[in-house]
Amino acid sequence: MKIISLRYTRCYLLPVGSKYILIDSGYEYEWDRFTKQLSDLNIPLSSISHLILTHHHDDHAGLVARLVEENPEIVVVVSKVGAQYLLQGKHVHPEGSGYINRRVAFLLWFKSKFDKGWTHTFPAYQHRPGDVLIDGTVKLRDMGIDLDGVIVETPGHSDDSISLVLDDGRCFCGDAAANFLRFAGTKYAVIWVDRWDEYYNSWEKLIALHVKRMYPAHGKDFHANKLIANLRKNSKENMAIVTQG
């Protein structure tokens, strides 16, 4: 396994024969950083056979259109719901969603004042006939990936969130969990949640699948027992709700 560390997002490259599966991309403005790290790893763009998008947000989907433009052979794997969001080229959130607590909300407000590229938008992407749209639980081998594992729906951060769970216990969860800003009380949750009940239900789903190690998009990997120890430790009452529109 190889890791591409972008400004905020970790992207994972899983070897499958002579090819690689890429999990998530980064912001639209990170193309040069992405391709430099790919080159440093001696991995040509042409060797990426599949791109698995854990969800549609700009720090995960910002490079999708460019990657497919540069390598049309890439098969994009995204949830059925997420494919529709990619067409809009922006974050989609329901009413009542927001930052998980006020400390996180303040830190991200402060960040927004200095990061002008943080717009919550990305180049829209129209899925193609050869792409894979996830609906439910799908085995990797059934979508042409020669690995033992499944892709499962893990909503809560967003309703299109999916995670890749390998039979060896590794879980590539996108933002279904995180190891980021823990000093601000995140407790291994990501900084933004659409629905807390679904978020922790997704943790319970992963625990039931006997995952051993979590590989999040934000922060270093960690043992899955952290999910058990922190299950339902955050609450909707502490959220900083963001008004949509």
| Residue type for position 205 | K
User: What is the per-residue pLDDT across 69-127, written as a single tens digit (0 to 9) for each?
Assistant: 999 999 999 999 999 999 999 999 999 999 999 999 998 877 676 776 678 899 999 99
- Among candidates 194, 144, 142, 145, which has minimal Cα distance to 172? 145
The predicted structure's pLDDT at residue 245 = 47
The predicted structure's pLDDT at residue 241 = 93
Enumerate domains of the chain plus CATH numbers. 2-241 (3.60.15.10)
Is residue 123 within 8 Å of 62, Cβ to Cβ? yes
User: What is the per-residue pLDDT across 194-233, written as a single tens digit (0 to 9) for each?
Assistant: 999 999 999 999 999 999 999 999 999 999 999 999 999 9
The string over 102-124, giving b where at least 16 C-beta atoms fall within 10 Å of a residue's C-beta and e elsewhere, is ebbbeebeeeeeeeeebeeebee
User: What is the per-residue pLDDT across 166-193, written as a single tens digit (0 to 9) for each?
Assistant: 999 999 999 999 999 999 999 999 999 9
Read off the pTM.
0.96
Mean pLDDT of 137-144: 97
| Residue type for position 143 | M
- Three-state secondary structure call for residue 158: coil
User: What is the per-residue pLDDT across 13-48, written as a single tens digit (0 to 9) for each?
Assistant: 999 999 999 999 999 999 999 999 999 999 999 999
